Structure 1
Amino acid sequence: MKRLTEWDPSDKKFWEHKGKRIATRNLWISTIALHLAFCIWQMWSVMTINLPKVGFTYTTDQMFTLTAIPALVGAVLRMFYSIAITYLGGRTWTVISTIILIIPAIGIGIAIQNTNTPFITMAILSALCGVGGANFASSMANIGPYFPKEKQGTALGINGGIGNLGVSMVQLVAPIAIGIPLFGTLLGGPQLLVLESGNQNIWLQNGALIWVLPLILISIVAFFGMNNLPSPKVSLVEQAQVFKGKHMYLITILYIMSFGSFIGYSAAFPLLINKEFPEVNALQLAFLGPLLGASFRTVGGYLADKMGGAIVTFASVITMMIATAGVVYFVGESKSFVGFFIMFMILFLAGGIANGSIFRMIPIIFGPKETPAAIGFSAAIGAFGGFFIPKLFGWSFQYSGGPQPALYVFISYYFLCSIILWIYYARPNAEMKC
């Protein structure tokens, strides 16, 4: 598809006769590409569970680190990815950024078959997976301008929500794929999984290699099916104006609360179950949390369009505080997996709604020239939650023997976010009611 020569979704006649069809097509292609990017980004949340059982000698802290590194790299690159859209166009950058993800998928498929692979090699491959996390910023910055303002919350909710479902998808599909000889011996033989109940063969490489063909296919579809919008090239100086106001930093704090929690808990949840409740098969249940969080992101965008982004986000963060306190209770003396699991599901659900509602707030708070930079910066810093949450859990287990200190930190942060939301955005006389 060539670059569009005209684009005005606010013109109702243009939107109904031409714009809606083009916007919808670009939305769904972008959404699938982002979904696969999230699969690659969070691959290590699944892979780490079985590494010790097949002969890898990495420590618990090193395994938490492997789940945390992709978030760190994705966070650093997000700012650059959101800016790249304004210079290269959504179609061009979607194709390039999707093709890049084939490299870590193949690399992990090879390296994970050798238990003597050094930790530094795995850490580098983990970092390459982080590129998938950067795709989020460029995808969201690209999709918003396709839609009228009153529909952007829903569109961004769909793009981000189904994109985020990649986390749940990799945690659901990869464990199934590694349990069967999906490619026979063509792409490598099995590894011996050592369990108390008995040994069995698994194919860890399948958890990485199954994504190669879908990545190739969606790259081709994006090349032929997407468009580059005729948006003017906004200079870095113009975009940098967003950093002069306090709202850029306030929104960033809030986005760490929403998306940072989602991606951080998604990465740490399987290992957390494994540490606190070793009798439970973490890989059979862990995917449900990201599934809820990603699914309800779309709900958050829809509710924000109807009720206002700030009030929906405020209600969500209060719910997150209560749910986190519940997690503390159920990993304490009561030691109930059922209570622990229900509280975490509520935490994922509320965080997903906040993910969608915050993105509805951004276009209202910032102008069209500043919005890409605002999305890129907040998304970049927010993704650091995916690094710090697993690392905080690792630190918490190392120094206290449990996750409670980390959970108290999260509750305190959510309380800070609730104050910011109420004072600046949600109360009746708020400075920037949205």
Structure 2
Amino acid sequence: ILKDVAVTKNAVGVVTDVVAKRADLAAATVITKDGDVIRDVVIKETDTTKNMKVELKKNEAGLITDVAVKKVITKKIYLQNALFVWVPFLVVAFILCALFLRSVTLPARGFKGQFEILSSLNRARTHTWNCTITYITSFGSFSGYAAAFPMMIKTIYGGFDGAPDPLAYAYLGPLIGGLVRALTGPVFDKWGGSKGMHWTTLGQIAGCLALAFGGFLTPTSLDQFQGFVWIMLFIFLMTGTNNAATFRQYPIVFAYSPAKGAQMLGWTGAWAAFGPFIWTSFIGGAITKYGSAIPFFVGVSVFYAYSWFINYYYYTRTGAERFDYGNSGGTWWDKLSDSEKQEMKRIDLRA
């Protein structure tokens, strides 16, 4: 307990005045009075008071009978170190793969073969960039929002009295997105990856526009926080589901070459890994330059609309170049004749 405040009480022990002895503490102290008695004491967070908190004691009538200022000692949390828990499991998985994963027999393509997804053969380059854009929309967004979510809570809602703790909510979005990713995979095997991407991308657009134009990014009170959280969790739900659909879709796009389907998942994953950096940088930049994150969410909605059009035109609409309607509706590869399939494989292998 700090002895930096002087408390004055009346004859019945009710606090009537509080005086901060230090100038910096006095400047940060907000006292609310009702007549001759103190109703509330709050210390604003500054560089010198950020580790201080006020404790009020009240009687049965709700009147303050004592005021104490305490210094809170907090231990630093190194969230990034939580990832090290996976290291032993990854080492074991690597050893098991090296010993037993020998059933994949593919022709050797060398180092240059890793970049054949960027060739013009079978229009590989076009579909590579299409998949890259749609994967940034799904997993890039998921990872980006996972990093930006706690930052947004602190920046947008941290200025209100009783502001929420960002760490109390930070895990919810990734948890929902990760769970739905695992649960909806089998659904898209039956329904089709392109259809899943079609509807979930529209869901992402709706969520972002709701944030931008619903007032949740420029709140006037803490009452709007609950709506902000629910919309963000909806966006996480859509990005996680979208991500599940992509893992069905991309191997179908490159059905003539399992190697390229696998390469595509690695290639798009590398691009989407920039999501946390890009999302936090752009959201933070928008808040700094324009005073809110609205420009970012409007801009990312436009990007999602472009991604939606690519998926619709190339993979979803009736007669699309490489459609995927799931196990029940068939795929573009299923509709080709045996001779057409062999020709595409021959072109791919340059045989």
Q: TM-score range by the shorter chain?
A: 0.5 to 0.7
Deviation at 1:224, TM superposition (A): 5.2
Instruction: Please give the TM-score of this superposition, normalised by the length of structure 2.
Output: 0.64
Structure 1 counterpart of 2:200: 316
- 1:368 matched to 2:258? The reply is yes
What's the CA shift string for 1:142-162, capped at 9, x where partnerless? xxxxxxxxxxxxxxxxxxxxx
Larger Rg: 2
The runs of 5 or more residues in structure 1 that have no matched partner are 1-191
Structure 1 counterpart of 2:280: 390
Whichever residue aligns with residue 296 of structure 1, its letter is V
Contact 1:320 1:350 in 2 (8 A): yes
Matching of residues 318-357 of structure 1 within 5 Å: 318-328=202-212, 329=214, 330-332=216-218, 336-357=224-245
What's the CA shift string for 1:99-123, capped at 9, x where partnerless? xxxxxxxxxxxxxxxxxxxxxxxxx
Structure 1 counterpart of 2:117: 242
The CA RMSD over aligned residues, in Å, is 2.4
Structure 1 counterpart of 2:306: 416
Structure 2 counterpart of 1:271: 151
Deviation at 1:208, TM superposition (A): 5.2
CA distance in 2, matches of 1:309, 1:315: 10
Contact 2:176 2:237 in 1 (8 A): yes
Structure 2 counterpart of 1:88: none
Contact 1:193 1:201 in 2 (8 A): no
Structure 2 counterpart of 1:298: 182
Structure 1 counterpart of 2:88: 216
Deviation at 1:398, TM superposition (A): 1.2
* Percent identity (aligned): 25
Query: Greater share of strand residues, 1 or 2?
Result: 2
Deviation at 1:382, TM superposition (A): 1.8
Contact 1:193 1:199 in 2 (8 A): no
Whichever residue aligns with residue 180 of structure 2, its letter is F
CA distance in 1, matches of 2:93, 2:202: 41
Q: Which of 338-347 and 371-380 deviates more?
A: 371-380
Deviation at 1:282, TM superposition (A): 0.9
Query: Greater share of helix residues, 1 or 2?
Result: 1
Matching of residues 20-419 of structure 1 within 5 Å: 194-196=51-53, 198-204=70-76, 207=79, 212=84, 215-216=87-88, 219-220=91-92, 222-223=94-95, 227-231=100-104, 232=106, 233-244=108-119, 245=124, 246-278=126-158, 279-328=163-212, 329=214, 330-332=216-218, 336-366=224-254, 367-419=257-309
Contact 1:303 1:309 in 2 (8 A): no
Q: Which of 248-257 and 202-211 deviates more?
A: 202-211
CA distance in 2, matches of 1:303, 1:220: 30
Q: Which of 262-271 and 372-381 deviates more?
A: 372-381
Deviation at 1:338, TM superposition (A): 1.2
Contact 1:326 1:343 in 2 (8 A): yes
> What secondary structure, in the 3-state scheme, does the structure 1 residue paired with 2:268 have?
helix
Instruction: Please give the TM-score of this superposition, normalised by the length of structure 1.
Output: 0.52
Contact 1:238 1:370 in 2 (8 A): no
The runs of 5 or more residues in structure 2 that have no matched partner are 1-48, 55-69, 325-351
> What secondary structure, in the 3-state scheme, does the structure 1 residue paired with 2:73 have?
strand
Greater relative CO, 1 or 2 (CA 8 Å, sep 6+): 1
Distance 1:331 1:208, change over 3 A: closer
Whichever residue aligns with residue 117 of structure 2, its letter is V
Contact 2:250 2:264 in 1 (8 A): yes
Q: How many residues are matched? A: 243
Contact 2:252 2:261 in 1 (8 A): no
What's the CA shift string for 1:39-59, capped at 9, x where partnerless? xxxxxxxxxxxxxxxxxxxxx
Whichever residue aligns with residue 199 of structure 2, its letter is A
